A and B are shown apart, each in its own frame.
Chain A
Amino acid sequence: MTEANVTAAQSGTGSVPENWQPHIVALVCNWCSYAGADMAGTTRLEYPANVRMVRFPCTGRMSPLMILRAFEQGADGVLVSGCHPGDCHYVQGNLVARRRFTIFRSLMDFIGIDLKRLHFAWVSAAEGHKWAKVVSEVTASVQEAGPLPSFDHPEGWDGIDLPEMAGSGPQELDEDQLNAIRDNLRKAASEVLTGGRAGSVIGYGPGSLANQTIPLFITEAADCEKLEWGQGCRNNLSTYVGSALDKHERVAVVAKTCDLGAISGLIREGQLRREQLVVIGVQCPGVRDGPGLATKCLSCSGDPHPICDLVVTVDGVRESCEDPSAAALDTPDARDEQIAYLETLPHDERWKYWQRQFGRCLRCYACRAACPLCYCSTCITDKHRPQWVPTSIDHPGNSTWNIIRAVHLAGRCSGCDECARVCPADIRLDLINRKLSLEVERQYGKIGLDPEKKSALVDFRMEDSEEFIL
């Protein structure tokens, strides 16, 4: 038996077949919405037959990956429904889920999914009428949005010119100044080793191409002479701290300002303890990306981060360590303008922009490998049973991969932009991660650098916003 519906994958242009019916998948919680739907049935209310239900114990069990799979499998719309806040059978499932949905939804919007396709509702066991109404409204809304645009390379599309990013970056340092910092750094690192403060220093050494450095792992003080400092020091060395701690009790790491947000996150998530680190903060001239400075540097002062143990500047080396709960980095970001610009574009333009980007994705996972906060022993994308992230290196699978990585980083990403730097396909991962950072901040406030504070997506407040929830 085949369906009466005929769904055609169209790319947004082109005509919709006359009797096209949207196909909608609903994820519902057992205690409220499923029972509410039962109530609608008992009351013999009539509503459109386009919805297919999946039953869950709680909205807390519903993952963005499930919503993405529904779309990948061809659904034109998805409805997620659960208990009203305060009524969750499991106390707080819907409250944690509410934050997840808020962030996921904002990302889907950003990458060009018309939100007429993605709906969230609170329907209680007593609200049979509301269920019928919600399904009717959602069906009409998805009907209006039309068939799901295809996950495809946009043919014959000229692309978008994003606005130039403004900002001057850190103060310029001339060669003498950079050499002075480098010499101070070598001295500081050497003393860390000879003084027994750490068993290993992770820093930057000379690379083989111009303006390139590579990570160095130094255990002998004499080797500190190999340390370099300059605009080629691009890597976020905190990625290497975990494996270094397998061999040494304490590790020293050379850090630019942008490298240190990740360390707070790693401490917060139990991956290392502050006492295991000696952080050597260095005055930074900004890092090079092609002919100019990297985007992330444009709004940065280059001053060493507040949370360091040693601070290396042109003038010398000093001890420093601030209470992380007091420290905050309130830097505006040059990328915000580009994000704002993208958000002025209609959804189908955004969709083309991001499909073109995701189409280039090779699934090399350099983004994941370079990210200090991607420390999972096996990535969700490697999970075969079930295969949430399709293995095929094409548009739907690539979209799912990049979306889910961004979702997993929401509220945790420190903005070091390593992912964007290492991407061989020049995908603007920095824009996606920054967009979600902004959204988390806007909705739930800044966590700052204090590792004691809970990260936004494992926390909740009764008064979290929910204007989009039906």
Chain B
Amino acid sequence: MSRVGVFVCHCGENIARNVKVQEVVESSRDIPGTVVTADYPYLCSAPGQQMVIDAIEEHDLDRVVVAACSPQLHEPTFRAAAAQAGLNPYLCEMANIREHCSWVHRDTEQASAKAYQTVVAAVERVKRSRPLDPIEVPVTKRALVIGAGVAGIRSALDMANAGHQVVLVERQPSIGGNMSRLSETFPTLDCSQCILTPLMVQVSRHPNIELMTYSEIENVSGYVGNFKVLIRKKPSFVVAEDCNGCGDCAEVCPEPGGNEFDMALSSRKAIYIPFPQAVPSVYTLDADRCLNSKLDSPTGFRVLACVKCEEACQPKAIDYDMQPEIVEREVGAIVVATGFDLRLGEPAAQFGYQRSLDVMDGLEFERMLSASGPTGGEVRRPSDGQTPKDVVFIQCVGSRDPEHGVSYCSKICCMYTAKHALLLKHKVPDSRAFVFYMDIRAGGKDYEEFVHRAMEEERVMYIRGRVSQVIEENGKLKVLGVDTLSGRTVEIDADMVVLAAAMEPADRGEIAGKLRIAADAHGFFKEAHPKLRPVETLTAGIFLAGTSQAPKDIPETVSQASAAASKGMELLSQEFLQRDPSTAHVNEAACAGCFECLAVCPYGAIERKQLLDAQGEVRREVAAPNPAMCEGCGLCTVTCRGGYIDLEGYTDEQVFAQLGALGPVREVVER
């Protein structure tokens, strides 16, 4: 039988004015299990707390009820006092007789009756409390960063610089992401590669960063502090340590094709390096383009049709027999930075994107503007190589278009369109640039001024209105639009059209599925709270950075990357994580394996556990909540029809007993 102590606070006059404290104290003596009762003017004061501590020790109490203010205020106070007396803090309960009672009810009889009943309920509850200890989860001191665009690079560097081990995985042969494709960045017109490459080199040289390019995440299991990641290293058929980047192989390679880095505006060979500043600076043999992979041999040997690159390679770095390799890494924290692609669906097609070579998207135009691009930085029409004189830029292609595109704003297009127009005017001074816009969103630092520069200094013509059609006619692109400010239709015979296409997350659900993190309807990863927790996910230990979470520009991306890194470091700087012990527990013997609990858990905290028989055969699967991931909401407990899941700290027995104490007081069971 428990030994409960009930302590009732006067809180000066706050409680005592409306609640007859002495009566409550006296009546509490009769509650089964109560061995000591007392009252005090201010229990939260030092002497008040001491009284509780002394009583615990003197009367050998194993449960405590403090009837006072709201637990939201002082539960930690009294729990700490209990702990000081050697009592597990979770065996101390508060009964709220101030905020919920004396402060809101003037009738003393009613307030006192309610206060007493509240105390009884608290005693019944605490008698069924169990001593709990915070759950300690060990932390593997290594982080995984998925994606090595500027977000992934920044995150990895921050954590590595702080002394933590980082595994950085990138699926392309080179790191750098979309930012390495850009010519110049707004609003400073910094050369993108120039500011990015030093960071890329730092990554490649950093002793704490293990860089795996041309690699993908195969599987992630585990939970915060204890993730197990399987990474598939795709075979590049070039031994990285031996390759010196000389390029002899590419010269002799007979298979050209589109260069993805240049948005297919230029070509590359089957064996290639994506761009001159690629990190790592090694060649990759694309198995899909190489002649050798096109041969099927009935005997199972791969008959080599072409060995030109192997012959040309002086350091003997080519290895046609390279196999994909799966490596395993254990990490404590994961940062997801998988970036974006441009979405070129129906809205782009409407403007002739597929039909005409001279209609291109923003990234294609970036490559054209870029000095290392397909045209050496000169603006030329892809169709005939001529320098365009009239270029039309169309904003919001697919963005802000719930019917044909996406409902959201892609945030950066207004800025990069202004930049594109500006750079066009720099490169082709006698050209004319027309921008069709709905709004101009230039909220960042110096952004508004940048747009004005384009408008006023460079005389870029901004037309507020939409484009209805782009028709190819006699080698020109007839752009039909409207100017809503003048109310007139506009017709421009353009040489080139650039579409500011919508941004969409590069991940199509694969990473989301592997990590079991949520994504919104558009595929952007879901943050834990849009305002207060923008870089965390609801899966403990997994953080977000960059455009995979939402459209954003480079300063925001870098900020978010550092924020994610700091969250990661918060984890990695601890030996053990302390998690709230109010978690769910399953009776495995009874679980029927319907897994509806798994379906409702907001945190993916319920795992499928296989129960084996004596021979090691799988008998059945049962639900197993992971205490490290469980946040204690209790959704699973109600979903489980048989009642096999209970929630520590708010157990069925506790609730049952409280409900049994809070009905009208009866002297006998009514039948």
A residues apposed to B, CB below 8 Å: 1-5, 7, 9, 23, 25, 34-35, 37-38, 40-42, 44-49, 52-58, 60-63, 66, 69-70, 73-75, 89-93, 96-97, 100, 132, 269-271, 375-380, 383, 385-388, 392, 394, 408, 454-455, 457-459
A70-B663, A75-B664, A377-B642 as given contacts; A61 in contact with B599, CB under 8 Å? no
Contact residues of A: prevailing secondary structure: loop
In the complex, the answer to whether B647 meets A377 with C-beta atoms within 8 Å is no
Shortest CB distance B98–A (Å) = 7
In the complex, the answer to whether B631 meets A2 with C-beta atoms within 8 Å is no
In the assembled complex, the Cα of A275 lies from the Cα of B535 at a distance in Å of 44
A57-B633, A377-B592 as given contacts; A69 in contact with B656, CB under 8 Å? yes
In the complex, the answer to whether B113 meets A4 with C-beta atoms within 8 Å is yes
Of B113, B642, B649, the contact of A376 (CB 8 Å cutoff): B642
In the complex, the answer to whether A44 meets B662 with C-beta atoms within 8 Å is no
In the complex, the answer to whether B602 meets A90 with C-beta atoms within 8 Å is yes
Of B595, B638, B666, the contact of A74 (CB 8 Å cutoff): B666
B117 at the A interface (CB under 8 A): yes
B121 at the A interface (CB under 8 A): yes
User: Top 7 closest A-B pairs, CB basis?
Assistant: A41-B99, A61-B634, A73-B663, A386-B656, A90-B633, A49-B110, A60-B635
Shortest CB distance B592–A (Å) = 6
In the complex, the answer to whether A93 meets B596 with C-beta atoms within 8 Å is no
In the assembled complex, the Cα of A44 lies from the Cα of B103 at a distance in Å of 5
**Closest B residue, CB atoms, query A31:** B72
Q: A53-B100, A61-B637, A92-B600 are in contact. List 16 more A-B contacts (CB 8 A).
A: A34-B72, A38-B99, A41-B99, A44-B103, A49-B107, A58-B633, A61-B638, A66-B659, A70-B659, A73-B660, A93-B635, A132-B104, A377-B591, A385-B653, A386-B657, A459-B599
A54-B121, A57-B582, A377-B590 as given contacts; A386 in contact with B662, CB under 8 Å? no
Residues from 347 to 376 in B contacting A, C-beta threshold 8 Å: none
List, in ascending order, chain B residues with CB within 8 A of A408's CB.
641
List, in ascending order, chain A residues with CB within 8 A of B592's CB.
271, 375-377
A52-B117, A458-B599 as given contacts; A388 in contact with B643, CB under 8 Å? yes
In the assembled complex, the Cα of A367 lies from the Cα of B588 at a distance in Å of 26
A61-B650, A375-B592, A386-B653 as given contacts; A44 in contact with B664, CB under 8 Å? no
B632 at the A interface (CB under 8 A): yes
In the complex, the answer to whether A380 meets B27 with C-beta atoms within 8 Å is no
In the complex, the answer to whether B538 meets A380 with C-beta atoms within 8 Å is no
**Closest A residue, CB atoms, query B649:** A57
Shortest CB distance A100–B (Å) = 7
In the complex, the answer to whether B98 meets A41 with C-beta atoms within 8 Å is yes
In the assembled complex, the Cα of A21 lies from the Cα of B400 at a distance in Å of 57
In this complex, the member of A47, A74, A458 whose beta carbon has the largest number of chain B beta carbons within 10 angstroms is: A458
Residues from 462 to 509 in B contacting A, C-beta threshold 8 Å: none
B610 at the A interface (CB under 8 A): no
List, in ascending order, chain A residues with CB within 8 A of B71's CB.
55
23 residue pairs of the A-B complex, CB under 8 angstroms, read A4-B113, A34-B72, A37-B100, A38-B99, A40-B104, A41-B70, A46-B105, A49-B111, A49-B114, A52-B121, A53-B96, A54-B655, A54-B659, A56-B634, A57-B633, A57-B647, A57-B650, A58-B634, A73-B662, A269-B594, A270-B595, A386-B657, A388-B652
In the assembled complex, the Cα of A52 lies from the Cα of B100 at a distance in Å of 9
Shortest CB distance B598–A (Å) = 9
**Closest A residue, CB atoms, query B590:** A377
List, in ascending order, chain B residues with CB within 8 A of A58's CB.
633-635
Residues from 537 to 592 in B contacting A, C-beta threshold 8 Å: 538, 582, 589-592
B23 at the A interface (CB under 8 A): yes
In the complex, the answer to whether A458 meets B639 with C-beta atoms within 8 Å is yes
List, in ascending order, chain A residues with CB within 8 A of B658's CB.
54
B513 at the A interface (CB under 8 A): no
In the complex, the answer to whether A47 meets B104 with C-beta atoms within 8 Å is yes
List, in ascending order, chain A residues with CB within 8 A of B444's CB.
none
In the complex, the answer to whether A376 meets B633 with C-beta atoms within 8 Å is no
B613 at the A interface (CB under 8 A): no
B670 at the A interface (CB under 8 A): yes
In the assembled complex, the Cα of A132 lies from the Cα of B656 at a distance in Å of 26
Of B107, B590, B635, the contact of A61 (CB 8 Å cutoff): B635
Residues from 612 to 671 in B contacting A, C-beta threshold 8 Å: 621, 631-635, 637-639, 641-643, 647, 649-650, 652-653, 655-660, 662-666, 670-671
Shortest CB distance A463–B (Å) = 13
Shortest CB distance A50–B (Å) = 8
In the assembled complex, the Cα of A92 lies from the Cα of B98 at a distance in Å of 31
B106 at the A interface (CB under 8 A): yes
In the assembled complex, the Cα of A25 lies from the Cα of B658 at a distance in Å of 10
List, in ascending order, chain B residues with CB within 8 A of A2's CB.
665
Of B27, B103, B653, B655, the contact of A42 (CB 8 Å cutoff): B103
In the complex, the answer to whether B118 meets A52 with C-beta atoms within 8 Å is yes
A49-B114, A60-B635 as given contacts; A38 in contact with B671, CB under 8 Å? no
Interface string of B59-74 (1 = CB under 8 A from A): 0000000000011100
List, in ascending order, chain A residues with CB within 8 A of B96's CB.
38, 53
**Closest A residue, CB atoms, query B30:** A1
Of A25, A44, A92, the contact of B659 (CB 8 Å cutoff): A25
**Closest B residue, CB atoms, query A377:** B590
B593 at the A interface (CB under 8 A): yes
A41-B70, A54-B659, A458-B600 as given contacts; A270 in contact with B593, CB under 8 Å? yes
Shortest CB distance A4–B (Å) = 5
A49-B114, A69-B659 as given contacts; A44 in contact with B653, CB under 8 Å? no
In the assembled complex, the Cα of A379 lies from the Cα of B644 at a distance in Å of 10
Shortest CB distance A455–B (Å) = 7
B109 at the A interface (CB under 8 A): yes
In the assembled complex, the Cα of A269 lies from the Cα of B103 at a distance in Å of 49
In the complex, the answer to whether A46 meets B104 with C-beta atoms within 8 Å is yes
Shortest CB distance A399–B (Å) = 14
List, in ascending order, chain B residues with CB within 8 A of A42's CB.
99, 103
List, in ascending order, chain A residues with CB within 8 A of B109's CB.
4
List, in ascending order, chain A residues with CB within 8 A of B106's CB.
46
**Closest A residue, CB atoms, query B538:** A91
In the assembled complex, the Cα of A4 lies from the Cα of B105 at a distance in Å of 14
In the complex, the answer to whether B594 meets A271 with C-beta atoms within 8 Å is yes
B436 at the A interface (CB under 8 A): no
Shortest CB distance A304–B (Å) = 28
In this complex, the member of A5, A53, A70 whose beta carbon has the largest number of chain B beta carbons within 10 angstroms is: A53
B116 at the A interface (CB under 8 A): yes
In the assembled complex, the Cα of A459 lies from the Cα of B600 at a distance in Å of 7
List, in ascending order, chain A residues with CB within 8 A of B105's CB.
46-49
A4-B113, A25-B662 as given contacts; A60 in contact with B633, CB under 8 Å? yes
Shortest CB distance A392–B (Å) = 8
**Closest B residue, CB atoms, query A389:** B643
In the assembled complex, the Cα of A9 lies from the Cα of B668 at a distance in Å of 13
List, in ascending order, chain B residues with CB within 8 A of A455's CB.
596
List, in ascending order, chain A residues with CB within 8 A of B538's CB.
91
In the complex, the answer to whether A61 meets B633 with C-beta atoms within 8 Å is yes
Of A38, A63, A386, the contact of B70 (CB 8 Å cutoff): A38
List, in ascending order, chain A residues with CB within 8 A of B647's CB.
57, 61
In the complex, the answer to whether B664 meets A7 with C-beta atoms within 8 Å is yes
List, in ascending order, chain A residues with CB within 8 A of B649's CB.
57
In the complex, the answer to whether B634 meets A386 with C-beta atoms within 8 Å is no
List, in ascending order, chain B residues with CB within 8 A of A387's CB.
656
In the complex, the answer to whether B664 meets A23 with C-beta atoms within 8 Å is yes
Shortest CB distance B18–A (Å) = 10
List, in ascending order, chain A residues with CB within 8 A of B107's CB.
49
In the complex, the answer to whether A1 meets B116 with C-beta atoms within 8 Å is yes
Shortest CB distance B216–A (Å) = 27
A52-B662, A74-B670 as given contacts; A60 in contact with B117, CB under 8 Å? no
In the assembled complex, the Cα of A385 lies from the Cα of B644 at a distance in Å of 11
In the assembled complex, the Cα of A385 lies from the Cα of B653 at a distance in Å of 6
**Closest B residue, CB atoms, query A62:** B638
Residues from 56 to 108 in B contacting A, C-beta threshold 8 Å: 70-72, 96, 98-101, 103-107
Shortest CB distance B442–A (Å) = 30
**Closest A residue, CB atoms, query B642:** A376
Shortest CB distance B297–A (Å) = 36
